[in-house]
Each structure stands twice: as C-alpha cells, then as structure tokens.
Amino acid sequence: MKKGMKGLFLLLLAGLLTLASCGGKEEIYTAGTYTGEATGNGGPITVEVEVTGSEIKSIEVTHQTETPGLSDPAIKSVPERIIESQSTDVDGISGATNTSVGIMNAVENALSQAKIDQAGAVSKLTGEYDVIVVGAGGAGLSAAVEVLRADNSVLVVEKMPFIGGNTTRAGSAMNAPVPERQHKYKMHESEIRRVEEAIALEPQNEIMAGWQATLREEFDAYLASGEDYLFDSPSLHKIQTYAGGDYIGDPEIIDTYGDHTVEAFHFLEELGTHWTEKVVAMIGTVWVRANRVENNKGSEFVNPQRDYIVANGGEIVVDSKVEELVMTDGKVSGVKGTRTDGVPFEYTAKKSVVLASGGFGANVEMRESYNKFWPSLASDVETTNHPGATGDGIAMATALGAQTVGMEWIQLIPIYYSETAAIYIGYIENLIMLNQDGNRFVKEDGRRDEISAAELSQDKKGMFMVYNPAKNDILVKSRIEKYDGGPYGFSGSTVEELAEDMEIPVENLLNAINEYNQGRENGNDQFGRAIYGEEFDVTADDIIYATWTHPFIHHTMGGLKINTKAQVIDTDGNVIPGLYAAGEVTGGVHGTNRLGGNAITDIIVYGRIAGQNAVTE
Ligand code: ADP
C-alpha cells in the first residue's frame, strides 16, 4: 500500500473504532455470537462465543465427544480462564491437555472471525490493491506480511469462513537448523554415520555436489572441535530434503529454500509465534531439527501473521471463493469469484496475484486421478486435510497454461490422531514401531512413504507404537489414557501387562525394546535406525503405553512449477506475468516424499519470497 493510502486506511479504521467504541474501551471485535470449531481429544469441539465490541462475554461448549469425567474440568474451567484473562493463551488442565487445547483453538477460531470483521474489509465486493493473495493459510499470510512491509496494499481472499487452512492443522513444528536450540542434544554414533552417508551420496548435479562439499567442511570443523552436541546445518538439511524426495525436487528451489529456513524461523518469532524449548524429530523428519510451538497449536503459525496484517492496514475477506484469475493484456490483473452467500466479487491487482490456495488432499477426484503410487486414495481413505484443500489454485493456474510438477506424489502420514483411528504424538526419538504381531518391521526414523508403505504391507495395515516411559509427558498420558481399553490405546505397569493388553507375545515386545536399547548404545540396528531418545527402562516405575495407528492422506507434494522468485512457470518454460505462487499449491521442494517438519518451513519461506517479489512487478 502506498504510504498515503495506508494512512487513509488506518485513519478509516481508527474512525470506525472510535465511532464504535463505548465506555472508552478499545473496540476489537464486531459484537455478536460466533461459532468456532477445533479438534479435541475425542473429535471436533464446537463452541459459541459471544463478544461485545471490546470483550469476550461468554463461551459455551455446544458440541464435544471428549471422555466423560476426564475432560469435565477442562470443559468447565478453560472457558472461565479465557474469559477471565480475555485471551485464549491460558494454562490447560493437567490430564486433559488435548481437550484444553481443543477448546482454546475452537475459541480462537471463533474470535478470528470476530477480529477479521474488525478490519472493516469483509463485505467488500470490489477493490483495487497492489497485490491480491488467494488463500489465508501460512503461505498466503506470509506473502501478505511482506507486501505490507514493502508499503504496498494487499487483500487476502479466503474461501472458508475462517482463515488458517491446513496450516492450523499442522503438526506444530518447523524444520530449521538453529544451532543454539539444537546444541542441548547429544550426537549419537548413528547420527555421525548418517552425516557421513549424506556426504558420500552420489551427487546428482553440481548444486548437490556443492552442498556436499560445504557439509564436508562444516562437519570436519565440528569433528575437530571435539564437541558432542547435535550437529546440523542448512547443507545437511538441503541434502536430506533432496534425497528424501528421491531427487525429484528441484535443486534450485531446494537451495533457496534451505538458505532461508532460519530467517523464516526468526520472522515468525518476531511476529509473536511462541516457540517451546523443544527441538524434535517429527515422524519422517530424519533429523532432530523440528522446532515446536507452544501447546502444539498450528494457529501459532497463523494468528501472529493475521494480527500483523490487520494492524498494518492489510485486508482479509473470508467466505469468498476465487474461481478465476483475470488476465489483461497477457498479465494476471485480478481475481473473480463468488461469496458463500452467492454474491459475485471481483478485485483488481495493480501489480500481481499470489496463489496460496493450498493442496488437493481433500479432493477425492483429483487425488485419485493423479495418484500412481498408492493402491487407492478413494474416499474411504481418511485425510488429515481441511475440507477446503481441493486444489482450486492448480485448476485456475493451469487454465492459464501453468505447468505442474510431481502431481502424482501424495503423502500418506503413517500416524495420525482422529476419533476413529490413531493417536498422533509426532516425535519419534522415544518410539518403537511394531506390527500386529509385536515385531519391528521398519525403521522408526525413516521416511513417511516408507513407513506408510510398510504399514500397508502388514496383515492389519497399521502398526503399534510403544512409548518409552522415560518420556511419559502429559501429552502422552492424556492422549493415550483417553483410548486405553479400546482398540487404539494400551497400557501396562510391566512389559508383560502391556503385551497382554496388546495381545502380542511378550518375547516380541521384549526383543523390540532390547533392539532399541542396543541400537542406541552401538548404533547397529537391523533396520538402520539412527535417532534415539532416552534408554528404555523396562523396570521403570511407570506405566508403559502403546497405541495402534494407520496411514492418512496428508500432503500433496506436487503442484504449480515456480522459479526461485516464486513466479509461476507455464508449459513452455516462461514466467506467467503477474502470477506468483507459494506453499502447498506449488511443487519443487519435496519431490516424491516430504520430510516431516518441512511443510511449515516451505510455506513461510516461499510465502515471503512471493510477497517480496510480487510488489516488484
Ligand atoms: P498453505 O500451507 O500452502 O498455506 P493452507 O491449506 O494452509 O495452505 O491454506 C490455503 C488456504 O487457501 C486455505 O485456507 C483454503 O481454504 C484457501 N483456499 C483454497 N482455495 C481457495 C479459493 N478458491 N479461493 C480462496 N481461498 C482458497
């Protein structure tokens, strides 16, 4: 936005706020009752939140399927705490963490609708902006933040009634090698070997050879230092990302990606994302470099950006589905679409349009037509995706001649949490994976496609996960206790008891635990596992938990082909003028298989790049 315009908008907003304010309190909501939804421990939680212009007045949990008894204190106290502090950032109830977080997220979801109205932009049907962003997930919001930082005007158009997309459902961790955070972890022999293996891989091209040469130097310096903390670097991350996707990703895109991950971490931090101290290995990460946010909330990647946008004169419209990219004289010049209430809209982009409309994991027809790897991705295969992940951006851009890459690569996440299936506790250092007979069958720190395929090849097409009691934190306890006694949760105060509960031979369970402890000591594992947590002590005076899980459709790795400036490339290899894309709508970083923790990094890195370049048109 031009300085003068931004001033005018803020003035207008200030005027609106002053007019609307009463009793001297600042107006931050459009008064009314809003419905919010989020996932709790036992499924969706729905809340009705009543707000005045300046405060949260009441919260009612109107629908939930949480464990009776266990979740009652959270259902009673969390709304009270939120009202008392006028914030969703409150302490959860011990023993009912997921219910607590679910309620907080549902209230946050309701408030985000109230707050967006406060920007005064929701009912616009036309308008002219420097940049128009399609989709208010992590990528779109990052692009919008950068547009505003460059003093340009921006409108974010979102089709759902609320913002956040798949980003709010993310596994709440982001890969970035931030040494000061990783140094508290020790490096195991097996991890040293994993670095050496990365250096010894056959280079696929000069770019990869360059990463390997840099890594050799960095790792030699590390070894010479005599330190024993966990080593990491952007070059190791790039090699693992490229190799983890079977070299199908675009090395130039990965190079730019790897160079900006740490910056993206600090970008979010500056905007107000709350990081925990924890750095973990998410499932399929292959390295301990996933930085975790507080309360496992994906909204930590969304709300701070939304707040920045609203506070700096950016506008967001919701319930507005973009259906067409408008071209004028060979350049993308705006978007057209229809609001949920059936009213058409059209917005003009003076400079460019950024497509950040996410993937197509919830579009059964698309995923079935592109899938070549999995036996079936039909409607009976469950997905972790939000219902708006229907690939609209891919259809709109290809209608203008855009090129797609890697569309057939669709990720199944081997473990997930849902009412009907599994319990997702996503870091694997302290996990052992077993088949239905209680035998190990795969390396726990392997790739997601390998683990999912290995699960699907087992008789029962799923697996047990056994949790090291050394890491029985509140998350493990609260999640598993909910399911204990049913087909998904198991426990025992001894290995024998646990084996009996899981209905597997105790010798198999003991073998697997021995393998874990031995692999941790000597780095020799029959499946090649390299990442370990604490020693698994079977005599520990604590409950040992296990869960049963199976794969879910999670991420579509292919999408629009972009260059390192996030410009969309057409089928002849030329840039489509005025069109940028970022996030899950694009392909290029993840190849055949995305590493766990790489999605959030990708959307923030390329969302920012798209925003920074979109203003230069
Ligand atoms: P990413 O991780 O790439 O940011 P997300 O799934 O988090 O992707 O966000 C994409 C957002 O784009 C979602 O909120 C989704 O509802 C929105 N979206 C998808 N298609 C359209 C469309 N046609 N018009 C407007 N918004 C859209």
For residue 484, what are the contacts with CB-CB under 8 A and spacing of at least 6? 490, 491, 545
Question: Residue 158 Cα, ligand 1 centroid: separation in angstroms?
Answer: 7
Mean pLDDT of the chain: 88
Q: Are 396 and 355 in contact (CB under 8 A)?
A: yes
Decide if pLDDT at 117 tops 50.
no
Predicted local confidence at residue 170, as pLDDT: 79
For 298-315, how does the pLDDT look when each residue is reduced to its tens digit (9 = 90+)? 889 999 999 999 999 999
For 335-380, how does the pLDDT look when each residue is reduced to its tens digit (9 = 90+)? 999 998 899 999 999 999 999 999 999 999 999 999 999 999 999 8
Ligand 1 atom index nearest CA of 357? 12
149 catalytic per annotation: no
Ligand 1 atom index nearest CA of 141? 4
DSSP secondary structure string for all residues of 22-66: BTTBPP-S-SEEEEEEEE-SSSEEEEEEEE-SSSEEEEEEEE--P
Closest CA to ligand 1's atom 8: 358
Does the beta carbon of 157 lie inside 6 Å of ligand 1?
A: yes
Question: Residue 577 Cα, ligand 1 centroid: separation in angstroms?
Answer: 22
Ligand 1 atom index nearest CA of 585? 3
Question: Higher model confidence: residue 115 or residue 58?
Answer: 58
Residue range 207-214: mean pLDDT, rounded = 98
Residue range 585-589: mean pLDDT, rounded = 98
| Cα→Cα distances 141→11, 199, 356, 502, 605, Å | 23, 36, 9, 45, 12
Question: Residue 165 Cα, ligand 1 centroid: separation in angstroms?
Answer: 5
For 173-197, how does the pLDDT look when each residue is reduced to its tens digit (9 = 90+)? 899 999 999 999 999 888 999 999 9
Does the beta carbon of 391 lie inside 6 Å of ligand 1?
A: no
In the block, tokens 């298989």 appear at 593
In angstroms, the CA 143 to CA 599 distance is 16
Does the beta carbon of 584 lie inside 6 Å of ligand 1?
A: yes
In angstroms, the CA 37 to CA 44 distance is 7
For 476-496, how does the pLDDT look when each residue is reduced to its tens digit (9 = 90+)? 666 677 666 778 888 899 999
Decide if pLDDT at 604 tops 90.
yes
In the block, tokens 């930590």 appear at 300
The CA-based angle 82-157-47, given to 5 degrees, is 25
Choosing from 367, 448, 479, 608, which is the catalytic residue?
448
In the block, tokens 């107000």 appear at 272
Predicted local confidence at residue 25, as pLDDT: 55
Residue type, 128: E
Does the beta carbon of 601 lie inside 6 Å of ligand 1?
A: no
Closest CA to ligand 1's atom 11: 135
For 426-443, how does the pLDDT look when each residue is reduced to its tens digit (9 = 90+)? 578 889 999 999 999 999
Please tell me whether residue 267 adopts helix, strand or coil conformation: helix
Helix axes 251-271, 598-614, angle to 10 degrees: 90
Residue from 159, 163, 366 to probe ligand 1 pocket by mutation (most atoms less than 8 Å from CB)? 159
Question: Residue 554 Cα, ligand 1 centroid: separation in angstroms?
Answer: 15
Does the beta carbon of 238 lie inside 6 Å of ligand 1?
A: no
Question: Residue 224 Cα, ligand 1 centroid: separation in angstroms?
Answer: 47
Question: Residue 358 Cα, ligand 1 centroid: separation in angstroms?
Answer: 5
For 231-249, how does the pLDDT look when each residue is reduced to its tens digit (9 = 90+)? 999 999 999 999 999 999 9
Per-residue buried b or exposed e for 335-346, using 16+ beta carbons within 10 Å of the residue's own CB: bebebeeeeebe
Does the beta carbon of 603 lie inside 6 Å of ligand 1?
A: yes
For residue 45, what are the contacts with CB-CB under 8 A and spacing of at least 6? 37, 38, 39, 61, 63, 64, 66, 99, 102, 103, 106
Instruction: Name the token pair of 499.
Output: 């084996």
Does the beta carbon of 321 lie inside 6 Å of ligand 1?
A: yes
